[in-house]
Amino acid sequence: MDFEKELNEEQYAAVTAPDGPSLVIAAAGTGKTRTLVYRLAWLVKKHNIDPRNMLLLTFTNKAAREMLDRAETLIKRPFKSSHSGTFHSFANRILRSHASSVGFGCDFTILDSDDSKKLLRSCADDLKMDKKHFPKPQVLQSIFGVISGQMGDLADGLYERFEHSDVDVEDVIAVHDLYQKRKKEQNAMDFDDLLIYALQLLEKNERILRFYQDEFQYILVDEYQDTNAIQARMVSLLAKVHKNIMVVGDDFQSIYSWRGADFRNFLDFERHYPGARTFKLQINYRSTPEILEVANAAIAHNPDQFQKELKAVRPEGAYPISAQLRDGGAQARYIIEQAQQLNRQGVAYSDMCVLYRSHFHAMELQMELARASMPYVVTSGVRFFEQAHIKDVCTVLRILVNPGDEMAFTRLIELFPKVGKKTSLKIFRKLGGRVNLQTKEMCIKVEEALPAAAREEWKKIEPVFLAYREENLDADPGEIIYRFNKAFYNEYMVENFDNSKYRAEDIDGMIDFTTKFETTEAFLSEIALLSNLDAEPGAPAEAEPADAFRLSTIHQAKGLEFKVVFVLFLCESMFPSTKAVEETGDSEERRLFYVAVTRAEDRLYLCSPEVRRQRDGGIIFLEPSRFLREIPPHMMQKDHGFF
């Protein structure tokens, strides 16, 4: 095997690095995986290192299998590395041998997500939390995981999370403590516990720590910029003796702080490992030079980062297009026209992708795609109007427009405590199968029919229904949604969804979107083009078309690549998101933009509508995103695609 011939100069330098700590800064599209695989092969072929003395840590089983399989192909023999894999699989393996040291039996059970939720629900019920404002198990599961991964203080993290809600943090702590106790009693760990107890094992038992320090002479970590505090601490302990640690990643692509990832683990590597060698992979094999110029310019304005510049090997191509459109509808029609034109030129729809910061940015586009009968798939989840929170708020409008809409009424009252499917259907039929909530009399009848635990919540939203007729709000569906959200649903989201902040942005975006419709009925008729609100939960999804246009959030698209990429709503307050900037500044938002740009291979369209309607009927002028304004004009071709 001729390593020098098969690798470029940058990759070869990293692969053949001498012993000691090494930081590999691998920019987008520069062959990060190839470099890691060849490093494994180099250690075996050139240094006769037994694979069992290597530890490769990644974030997905798929990535681990791919790298180990490719290493086997290179060295032409089995690559037996029993502990390599994800951080969680590694933690599980060492705990299977030593769980007694942290108070568990080695035959402990790993709770899957559903089992964990059920146990959390049981703990909450036993502590009588069902009568109070209290988060759903999936919300607790997510919060406990992020806080533990950051090695943060539970109380501080909870107070920050529920600062603006009615949730009693002391109640949440009580459930957490009982949950921990029950898991110990049942000899069970959840997914987060694997990391927590593995670290505890290494920190508190010198003999066990020394065994694994001796065992793993070489440690390689993929996507190190996405590690949290526990993962970084675990790696630090394991590498302390041999110090042969190589971490690979890209601080420019650190976009998961909301999951607990801390890119400073990557930035501070050289400080934590004195004498570390640093290697940069900057030769990009994915994109044209013109796209890479835009990517370099886009990220250059971020402070606190390793400076690097993507270099192209591909020949020159088309300039990225900065498309200035009138509004969201014009943006949607422009994208469809460009996509159809490219398709006629031989580019498959499946090789094109529309990327966006938030789900609600794709509303108008999904509408226009439906009108154009153009096949598309939302690779980042369900279509916008099929999301649970959007369907929930739309039920209010549906029951107001059609008092006989059984599905809307039952879905609405099932949001309240102690109301399940059987109860909701029983109430609907008791009320005669027609519930005209525009009258005070009917609102009172519904209240009397509800379980006692649900009545106070119902009283909060009664004024919303009555205002529909009294204030003639048929022409303003957004106002109805706004009032329902303010009176009830915003708190409901905090207690029921782990990503309530992003769902709230979706609802705010939809409220503004409703202003283009003259009546509530017109709005509901239009969204029926995109979704079947009466579909049963869990119904099988339609088969994906063979050649479908792709829509995705940028977060979900990381690691993917497409011949053509469109980026939506590059406007101040939308991308970057105002909420994100207020909380943490614009650095991660800029990294998110960089990730979007570097998904494109051949063509890149950066779209910035100029106006957007607001809930009050007014029009706001949108300023182009700072990310667009930071790119020198000569790097892009402008297109005023007004319709």
Tallying the residues shown for the chain, one arrives at 643
The tens digit of pLDDT for each residue in 319-335 reads 999 999 999 999 999 99
Binding-site residue ranges for ATP? 26-33
Hey, which residues does 619 pair with through a beta bridge?
613
Query: What is the pTM assigned to this prediction?
Result: 0.85
Mean pLDDT across the stretch 261-283? 93
> Which is catalytic among the residues 72, 171, 192, 223?
223
Helix, strand, coil abundance in the chain, percent, nearest 5: 55, 15, 35
> Which is catalytic among the residues 161, 357, 590, 599?
599
Measured CA to CA, the distance from residue 305 to residue 155 in angstroms comes to 32
User: Chain-wide mean pLDDT for the chain?
Assistant: 90
In contact, 70 and 37? CB cutoff 8 Å = yes
pLDDT of residue 172: 94
pLDDT score of 547 more than 70:
yes
In whole angstroms, what separates CA 208 from the centre of its chain?
36
Per-residue pLDDT band for 135 (boundaries 50, 70, 90) equals: very high
Which uninterrupted H or E stretch holds 270?
helix 269-272
pLDDT of residue 67: 85
Reply yes or no on whether 341 is catalytic: no
pLDDT score of 158 more than 90:
yes
pLDDT of residue 131: 64
Closest listed residue to residue 193, CA positions, set 202, 185, 183: 183
Measured CA to CA, the distance from residue 123 to residue 181 in angstroms comes to 10
Binding-site residue ranges? 26-33
> Which is catalytic among the residues 10, 171, 190, 222?
222
Reply yes or no on whether 223 is catalytic: yes
Measured CA to CA, the distance from residue 488 to residue 459 in angstroms comes to 10
In contact, 226 and 256? CB cutoff 8 Å = yes
pLDDT score of 542 more than 70:
no
> Which is catalytic among the residues 6, 16, 33, 138?
33
pLDDT score of 290 more than 70:
yes
The tens digit of pLDDT for each residue in 54-66 reads 999 998 888 888 8
Strand residues in 117-191 grouped as ranges (E): 188-189
